[in-house]
Structure 1
Amino acid sequence: MNKFRVLGGALALLLASGQALADGKQLFNQHCSSCHGAEGAGIDGVAPPLRNPTLWQRLGEQAPTYLTGVWAGGLSGSLEVDGQTYRGLVMPPQTQIPAADLEQVAGYLLHDLNGAKQRVERAQIEAARQAPLSHQQLRALRKGV
């Protein structure tokens, strides 16, 4: 009987994990895709792609800091991504979205769209909101400085 409880618990965790990924995609579509496009492909002249494995690989262990920093403080200015320049870019802070939802979005964005291994925890999002990085600091992270 103990074996069945363990198996049942493991199955429940697997199902919950799959639900979390589905929720991440749904939340991304709800909050992010209108600017960053379906599956994070970007929209020329509007917002850069978030499906950009090269960027997330370069950020490495700093990926959660960059992502939560952009959500906490926004980002403005110009970015060049894959030869496309996004001028006058204004990514507003996403403080209206609950940290629990952003945690799900981060999983979808980092893991599903980009194959990154880093995780973003709700506590990281909340900490970033308490002390947002400057746009200059975010740009330095993005450039790998």
Structure 2
Amino acid sequence: MIEQPKHDARERENPDPHEKNRPIPRLVLIVVLGVLAWAVGYIVLTQRDDAPELGDHRTLATLQGKPAGAGVVADGAQVYSANCVACHQATGAGLPGVFPPLAGSEWALAADKVPVNILLHGIAGKLTVKDVAYNGQMPAFKDKLSDAEIAAVLSYVRSNFGNGSGKISADIVKAEREAGKDRKDPWNGDEDLNKLKQ
């Protein structure tokens, strides 16, 4: 009798490979278990009472991002780095044509209530800084920063970047916050801020 050719594809396939009695090599298991035992031992035996003088002296409130309250001195440079540097840059020079400079800015160096109100309520629309017009938007920080933080960051801006204006106290910020508590909209650039200067 003549053998018929195999037409079924399943009959032509080789059997699937399988592990049978060739599991993961013991040497690999020993190495993995050894590394795991070392890691657990390292964690358990590592000294956890490092000398406090090696730390950076930040308080728990700072680490948790809680705003500085009354009687707490805020770090103006830190507030600037966290909230302002992306637009106004680390040098205070801003981005030409996009974000105005704080270095030599007539708005930052104006009477105390002007920069305080700018930070509290923000700006929308055309703003002229050092004879260059900017048409953008600055966010309001009244709900984000405390009085102490606004005073600290404004004092930082007014005494850095070549600026030489005086410090702003948290009491001034508190008074301006109270005076503008009903204000919902940002200042309309030059138009509103020129009136505020008077």
Give the shorter-chain TM-score range.
0.5 to 0.7
The letter for the 1-side match of 2:164 is G
For residues 75 and 54 of structure 1, the distance between their equivalents in structure 2, rounded to whole angstroms, comes to 15
| Cα displacement (A) at 1:121 | 1.0
Check if 1:106 corresponds to 2:149. no
Partner of 2:138: 91
More helix by share: 1
Of residues 159, 164, 169, the one that matches 1:121 is: 169
Whether the 8 Å contact between 2:107 and 2:115 is mirrored in structure 1 is no
For residues 119 and 85 of structure 1, the distance between their equivalents in structure 2, rounded to whole angstroms, comes to 27
Whether the 8 Å contact between 1:44 and 1:84 is mirrored in structure 2 is no
Partner of 1:6: none
Whether the 8 Å contact between 2:94 and 2:102 is mirrored in structure 1 is yes
For residues 152 and 95 of structure 2, the distance between their equivalents in structure 1, rounded to whole angstroms, comes to 22
Whether the 8 Å contact between 2:114 and 2:193 is mirrored in structure 1 is yes
Whether the 8 Å contact between 2:119 and 2:140 is mirrored in structure 1 is yes
Structure 1, unaligned runs of 5 or more: 1-19
Give the SS at the match of 1:127. helix
Of residues 118, 138, 141, the one that matches 2:193 is: 138
Number of residue equivalences: 117
Aligned-residue identity in percent: 27
| Cα displacement (A) at 1:69 | 0.8
Q: How does 1:1-145 map to 2 (within 5 A)?
A: 23-52=75-104, 59=110, 62=111, 64-87=112-135, 89-95=136-142, 96-113=144-161, 114-116=163-165, 118-132=166-180, 135=187, 136-141=191-196, 145=198
The letter for the 1-side match of 2:139 is P
Which structure's CA Rg is the greater one?
2
Q: Larger RCO: Structure 1 or Structure 2 (Cα < 8 Å, ≥ 6 residues apart)?
A: 1
| Cα displacement (A) at 1:38 | 1.4
